[in-house]
Amino acid sequence: MSITLNSPLDMHLHLRDGEMLSTVAPLSAKTFSGAIVMPNLVPPVDTKEALLAYKERIGLAIGDETFKPYMTLFFKPTYTKEFLESVRDELTAIKLYPAGITTNSEGGVAGFDVKELRPTLTAMSELNIPLCVHGETNGFVMDREAEFVSIYEMLATNFPKLKIIMEHITTKESVEALDRFENLYATITLHHLLITLDDVAGGMLQPHLFCKPIAKRPEDREALRKVAFEAHPKVMFGSDSAPHPQHAKESSGCAAGVFTAPIAIQVLTELFVEHSTIENLQAFLSGNAQSIYSNISVPNKRIILEKEPYIVPTKYGEVVPLYAGESINYTIKEIES
């Protein structure tokens, strides 16, 4: 029996720049119809010029009209309504990072002062620009996301017309927040559906499974699985696929990120089949995102998979993917666009 998925979308993706961009962008472009592209380059993408130039570099790296990079700006509270209007047609969302919380986030928001944030967030509400948020405080690593829920609530309450996407959620607290506020949405990664902290640090320490937010407890994974497998209308797939060269992972200070882009669709298929919810994968992987991001255009693409072992490459360029060298159970047999 083959499984067909239409126009998969990756609503949280790191494409990096330069050589890494050339390595990873075609891998996403091959199987996805589009992806929300994160702006945490060095320096961050925070001007119209930088955004357009990055979009052009992505286009050159991909050379494929069947994939849309949905561009984002790195949130700054100094963005004016005039500026946002001028860039509106080029961008899909704005990504907010708390300062210093993950890779290249040093220039992020240092406090969450509503008064300071109000002009930009009000303009975003009026222009219907979604706010994507990396929701972690600088507290203890296992508590950061749960602690951030109060900030989500503050944002959701103060800006009720702003679409707020809780990115790569990892906790039951975030899942619970989804239903409390109409304007809160979430992306969920593949790896957070698969692993807990036990997989990262319960046996040998596994740097290739180290990411931010760090994988949490079994009950957190259960909460994520529940809303993903039922394709809760407020959740959508975002891989947070985040490539680092092998030497930056297997090192005395290992960078955060799991690289899943080339195998995400296959492994999601396996996972949803295993949990007898394959009929919901289309919504999780595309439909929900199209409803939430009402303003995106989505190229047609049809992915046909079969249950057939596929050996994951040990590396893509210098990047070690999830399940490197291991066998996964679904193979992409055809891609039509």
User: Annotated catalytic sites, by residue?
Assistant: 240
* Binding residues for a second copy (CB under 8 A): 140-142, 196-198, 200-208, 210, 214, 217-218, 249-256, 320
Of the two residues 50 and 201, which places its CB atom closer to a second copy in the complex?
201
Spatial contact of 261 and 27, defined as CB atoms under 8 Å apart: yes
φ, ψ for residue 107 (rounded to 5)? -90, 20
Residue 321: alpha-carbon gap to chain centroid: 16
At closest approach, how far in Å is the CB of 263 from a second copy? 17
Minimal distance, residue 197 CB to a second copy, in Å:
6
The C-alpha R_g of the chain, in whole angstroms, comes to 19
C-beta of 111 vs 203, nearer to a second copy: 203
Whole-angstrom Cα distance, residue 270 to residue 306? 10
Q: Which residue from 192, 287, 303 is spatially nearest to 230, judged by alpha carbons?
A: 287
* Dihedral class, residue 167 (left if φ above 0, else alpha if ψ from -120 to 50, else beta): beta
For residue 145, the Cα-to-chain-centroid distance in whole angstroms is: 16
The least distance separating a second copy from the CB of residue 58, rounded to whole angstroms, comes to 27
Which of 25, 312 has the CB closer to a second copy?
A: 312
Q: How far is the CB of 269 from a second copy (least distance, A)?
A: 26
Is cis: bond before 213, omega within 30 of 0?
yes
Rounded to 5°, the CA angle 262-132-186 comes to 70
Smaller CB distance to a second copy: residue 100 or 160? Answer: 100
